[in-house]
Amino acid sequence: MATEVKVGQDERKIVQELVQNHGNKKAELIPILQEINREVGYISDEAIKELSEKMSIPSSHIYSVATFYRMLSTEPRGRHVIQFCESAPCHVAGGRQVWQTLKRELGLLNGETSQDNKWTLITTSCLGVCGVGPVMIIDEDIYGNVTPDQVPGILENYE
Amino acid sequence: MKTTRSMVLVSSDPESLDRGALDVFSTLQKQIIKYGLEEEITLSMITDISKHAMSPLVLIYPDAVIYGPVSADDVPLIVEEHLYKGRVVEEKQISAYDLSGRVAWLSARKGTLPAENRIVLKNVGLIDPENIDEYIINEGYEALGHILKEMTPEETIKIIKDSGLRGRGGAGFPTGLKWQFVKAAKGNKKYVICNADESEPGTFKDRLVLEGDPHAIIEAMLIGAYAVGANEGFVYIRGEYGLAIGRMKKAIQQAKEYGLLGENIFGTDFSFDLHIHAGAGAYICGEETALIESIEGNRGEPRSRPPYPTTVGLWQKPTLVNNVETLANIPAIIRNGPEWYKSIGTPSSPGTKVYTILGNVNVTGLIEVPMGITLREVISIYAKGMKGGANFKLAQTGGSSGSIIPASLQDTPMDFDSFTNVGVSLGSGALLIGNEEVCVVDLAKVLLNFFRFESCGKCNPCRIGNNRAYKILVNISEGVGTMKDLKDLQMMSDQLVELSNCGLGQTAGSPLKDILAHFRAELEAHIKLKVCPAGICSMSGRYAYQIQ
């Protein structure tokens, strides 16, 4: 429990600094949420409450925005987030088989986080690197032309 | 500008960076200094349209020799042999033929394919996007200077109208007319927005312009702002495009330092301030009113129209929203005049179109060709034919929101009006080419899954319709479909098109309409014979949905 309280305090500090830097205009809400997501890994209830107070925006509005955009998460995620492109160009280029392999290797379904908190597996819409499909992104690393055989080797790169 | 003997370019697209392009660049720098060549040789990073397997690339001009894939270890040999002794290192050289997207840039450099004509991608891959001087040397900001000094906003709008330029975001609305609407709208405060939320699956043309020639977008936005009377603008770039956001930030900074953004530009009364807004991951934000909502700090839910953004847009002010590719045409039109622009393409759709070629073809990549070229030409000339000599079955145009085009329409000229006449749409310019191993049920399933996921949920036809249509398609692919399902799909397609609030739902119906019109036999085979002719669908019944 003690650590959780500390996390809450840290988040409040992060939120306060962000609001100070960005200002409290509503147009800054999404940029601020993006930074919270980057720094903390997700947008917690604590962060939403603090942000609501500092920006004078109802927390219901902040929650509705935070849950609308794919790059923002209101749930904690694993240490590494795998985003797999499920759009048609990657699908046609063999993405279907890679996706099956990923699910099997990790023992996860779409949107799940592993018990040891290492992996979160999500699908995403087109990432704009269709010339090298099938494509997946692990954290910030882009992998293109992925084949099912390569999947275990790629996953091994992450601690 | 000092005289240089050779120009060395290193590809720095995300794929190349991933494969060590920065190491190659820094080793090149060291080696060039080692041989004392730094006065004669310029070294730049470029965004090139290259194939993953060959990157990073090192391109040397004026010899037009391409090396790839180059690692830092290869650099000493290339510098010593090629740059110092003048001998081509043949073992690392790759022929243009092996390169994906070669058409897009080689012809611009060597003029081998007359059909290729670069306006939008003129500078991409040829200049250092992080250096404003290189843009300026290549006629950059010339058009802006010209209109600010010599033309009124009305004259500027007339040039764009006369050129016949139509919006490249997918709908093909006449750009000059849109500018005129914003100009005519009442209000002191107006905005210009560049829609760079390129999220159509299979489309990455805008990314390459943003990464490779960001100043062209800034210049075009300045021209647009002057014409409509705006003094503030936003570039809305999708959040996934990290490199593009970085390049655009740098370009805006440099333009500010040169006095091209800010107060009293070129010593005139015209002032313009430009900001970047990074998207947070939502396909729907490519719809202009959703994009505006998103900038304002809201959920990206489209507004009801009218009123259109041209009169009631960002913060209720008149707002001009143009797509990246549309804007990239503007400086060239101002420089060369509307007559020149109209001489390219077809009468109803002048100019060029940038296409991304994907799928089961020999050469994938990016091309910029005049409007009116046919699918057959694209496949046989630019894509070098179908992979493995397979038969062409269908093309899916314009990302998800385009059409599924059967082989029978492959000789229809690709321009806005010709496509509309045969009931299909050009979309955003992605061409996903499929052979006979592509199953239309499976493809439509993927597309509808995309739409049901990306639907913002605001209006019922889209939120419920896409979900139900998807489930029906799953059932057909699981071998438990009925003939009634086809009727239901037709009905849902009509309702999506007729009743949806915005473009997302309205286009979501088109893949359904297309497969029912052109691939009915294949659908019926799934239902009546329980057979997937392409051998893709499992037909096992395991994942079928219970639909009431």
- The 10s digit of each residue's pLDDT in B468-511 is 999 999 999 999 999 999 999 999 999 999 999 998 999 899 99
Q: Is A133 on the interface with B (CB under 8 A)?
A: yes
Same domain, B167 and B298: yes
- Residue B99 has what pLDDT? 38
Read off the tokens for A89. 């160009």
A51-66 pLDDT tens trace: 999 999 999 999 999 9
* Whether residues A87 and A116 fall in one domain: yes
The residue range of the domain holding B484 is 440-529
Assess A60–B contact: CB distance below 8 Å, yes or no: no
d(CA B390, CA B383): 13
Cβ distance B297 to A27 less than 8 Å, yes or no, reads: yes
**Pair (B383, B456) in one structural domain:** no
Q: Where is pLDDT greater, at B125 or B430? A: B430
A133 secondary structure, DSSP code: -
- Partners of residue A70 in chain B, C-beta under 8 Å: 280-282
Query: Can you list the positions of beta strands (E) in B47-167?
Result: 58-61, 65-67
Nearest-neighbour CA in chain A from B427: distance (Å) = 15
Q: Residue B103: its pLDDT value, please?
A: 28
Round to whole Å and give the CA distance between A36 and B330: 38
Whether A9 and A44 share a structural domain: yes
A137 and A90 in a common domain:
yes
Inform me whether the pLDDT recorded for B102 exceeds 80. Answer: no
Contact B504, B451 (CB under 8 A): yes
pLDDT band at A8 (very low <50, low <70, confident <90, very high): low
Residue B62's pLDDT is what? 65
Specify the CATH number for the domain of residue B60: 3.40.30.10
Tell me: do B60 and B187 sit in the same domain. no
Shared domain for A144 and A106, answered yes or no, is yes
Report residue B106's pLDDT band, with 50, 70 and 90 as the boundaries: very low
Average pLDDT over residues B304-328: 96
Chain A: closest CA distance from residue B120 (Å): 18
Integer-rounded Cα radius of gyration of chain B: 24
Integer Cα distance of B14 and B242 in angstroms: 9
CB contact under 8 A, A131 and B100: yes
- The answer to the question of residue A152 being in a domain is yes
Q: Is A65 an 8 Å CB contact of chain B?
A: yes
Minimum CA–CA partner of A26 in chain B: B297
In a domain, A72, yes or no: no
Choosing from B401, B435, B469, the residue where a domain stops is B435
Q: How far is CA B405 from CA A64, A133, B348, B366, B526, in A?
A: 38, 22, 21, 20, 20
Q: Would the CB atoms of A68 and B282 count as touching at under 8 Å?
A: yes
- Using CA coordinates, name the residue in chain A closest to B365: A131
Residue B42 lies in a domain: yes
In a 10 Å sphere around its CB, with 0-12 CB exposed, 13-18 middle and 19+ buried, how is residue B411 labelled?
exposed
Q: Is the confidence at residue A2, as pLDDT, over 60?
A: no
Tokens matching residue A96 = 């279907």
What is the average pLDDT across B440-453? 92
Question: Quick one: CA dihedral B525, B531, B533, B539, positive or negative?
Answer: positive
Euclidean distance between CA atoms B454 and B21, whole angstroms? 35
Is residue B174, in this structure, part of any structural domain at all? yes
Question: For residue B443, which residues of chain A lie inside 8 Å, CB to CB?
Answer: 88, 91-92
Which of A67, A78, A57 shows the shortest CA–CA distance to A122? A78
A10 touches chain B (CB under 8 A): no
Taking alpha carbons only, the member of B477, B476, B500, B479 closest to residue B488 is: B476
Supply the mean pLDDT for chain A. Answer: 89
CB distance B338 to B162 below 8 Å:
yes
Of B281, B365, B450, the CB nearest to A87: B450
Question: Does A87 share its domain with A129?
Answer: yes
Please check whether residue A129 lies inside any domain of the structure: yes
Collapsed DSSP state (helix, strand, coil) of residue B285: helix
A64–B contact, CB cutoff 8 A: yes
Nearest-neighbour CA in chain B from A154: distance (Å): 14
Structure tokens at B446: 């993927």
B113 occurs within a structural domain: no
Position A4 confidence tier, pLDDT thresholds 50, 70, 90: very low
Query: Which residues does chain B have within 8 Å of residue A93's beta carbon, measured at their own beta carbons?
Result: 358-359
Residue B548 covered by a domain: no
B434 strand-pairing partners: B394
Same domain, yes or no: A92 and A127: yes
The answer to whether residues B216 and B306 belong to one domain is: yes
For residue A92, the chain B residues in CB contact (below 8 A) are: 358-360, 432, 434, 438, 443
Rounded to whole angstroms, the Cα distance separating B210 from B200 reads 16
Spatial separation of the C-alpha atoms in residues B442 and B524, rounded to whole Å:
14
pLDDT of B183 strictly over 70: yes
Q: What is the pLDDT at residue B2?
A: 47
The complex scores an ipTM of 0.89
Structural domain span for residue A31 = 2-66
The CATH number for B305's domain is 3.40.50.11540
Tokens of A138: 């692990």
Q: Are residues B405 and B450 in the same domain?
A: no
If asked whether residues B491 and B399 sit together in one domain, one would say: no
Query: From CA B182, how far away is CA A5, in angstroms rounded?
Result: 52
Please answer yes or no on whether A68 and B52 come within 8 Å at the CB atom: no
A7, A29: one domain: yes
Considering its fold, how many domains does chain A have in total?
2
Residues A127, B359: C-beta atoms closer than 8 Å: no
B164 and B232 belong to one structural domain: yes
Asked if B56 and B11 touch (Cβ cutoff 8 Å), the reply is: yes
Higher pLDDT, residue B193 or A1: B193
Interface test with B, best of A22, A69, A90 (most B CBs within 10 A): A69
Identify the helix (H) or strand (E) that includes residue B319. Answer: strand B319-323
**Do the chains contact at B297 and A140, CB–CB below 8 Å?**
no
Q: Which residues of B touch A142 (CB under 8 A)?
A: 14-15, 18
- pLDDT > 90: what percent of chain B? 58
Residue B423 is predicted with a pLDDT of: 86
Beta partners for residue B369, in sequence order? B353
**CB-CB neighbors (< 8 A) of A139 in chain B:** none
Q: Tell whether A122 is within 8 A of chain B (Cβ).
A: no
Total number of domains constituting chain B: 4
- Residue scoring higher pLDDT (A9 or A21): A21
- The verdict on residue B105 lying in a domain is no
In a domain, A71, yes or no: no
Closest CB from B100, B201, B456 relative to A89 = B201
What CATH number did the domain enclosing B358 receive? 3.10.20.600
Q: Which residues contact B283 (CB under 8 A, 6 or more apart)?
A: A125, B199, B450, B454, B504
Q: Are residues A84 and A150 in the same domain?
A: yes
- The reply to whether B53 and B156 lie within a common domain is no
What digits encode the pLDDT tens for the residues B203-232?
Answer: 889 999 999 999 999 999 999 999 999 999
Q: A48 and A12 in one domain? A: yes
